[in-house]
Amino acid sequence: MSDAAQPTAAEVRAAAEAVKTALDRHLAAVERRSGEDDPAVYEAFNELAAAAEEYDELLYDRHDEVTPFEIPGSDSGVLPPYQGPEEANALSVLIRRDYAVAEPQRLLAQAERIADLDAGTSGTSGASSAAAAAGSSVHAALGVLFGEFEPDEIASRHKEFGLEEGDSTLWVTAADEPPEPGEWLDTPFDQADPHRVLCRFDVSAVFDDEPDDDGPEADAVAVLEELDEVDEVDGLDVDDDRRPLDADR
């Protein structure tokens, strides 16, 4: 960073004062805590984290020095305090799963096979042309694949279809009342409110980098225990290879 772009000493000092103020506010919110998920404490925590992060950045830019504080990021998996109804009358399950097309030729061949089987079962002519159309492009092949199989089956057989798994997340959110039919279909995820999340389950390669002090066997037991907790949610179907822990599909 050039000298012209560096923060001034006064800016660094002001950032330090902001951290002190945020510390006082956080302590006061904790002392007045009204419950385990008091939103005032959550807000004060975020303000303190933002102030500390700002100070850390300015301190480094000006003096090439860092603080001993570790500021948790938004990807820490920690949900904000629940602010939904105490007894949920309706649920929305929001799912996003990412894939990479690792083997396009395998995907195209599978789409051709599916289209060929569908045409043969229905007894219609032109099975070969339908199969050729299905295997004409990755776009067409994906349309055939996701039109034929449920998302859970694709997740369990992704390698068979030439796909490579990426990150995935599942949010179970509470609603006051079931929405009207067709109400949210055009914008299915715009109203996802983190404060109404009853439970959340994330799968990501970043978890593979986390230290494991107890070894792989203990980790497997922990995953199974968490999966058992998922089974207690009525109507929630979770894959056996899922690892529980801003919601799209």
The pLDDT tens digits for 59-109 are 999 999 988 876 655 444 556 778 888 888 899 999 999 999 999 999 999
> Which tens digits make up the pLDDT trace of 26-58?
999 999 988 877 888 888 888 898 899 899 999
Residue ranges per structural domain of the chain: 3-63, 81-89+168-249, 103-161
pLDDT at 103: 95
Task: Please tell me the distance from the alpha carbon of residue 248 to that of residue 122, in angstroms, as a whole number.
Answer: 34
Between 202 and 122, name the one with better pLDDT.
202
Q: In angstroms, how far is CA 214 from the centroid of its own chain?
A: 26
pLDDT at 236: 41
pTM: 0.51
What average pLDDT does range 106-124 have in this prediction?
A: 79
Task: Give me the pLDDT at residue 234, please.
Answer: 41
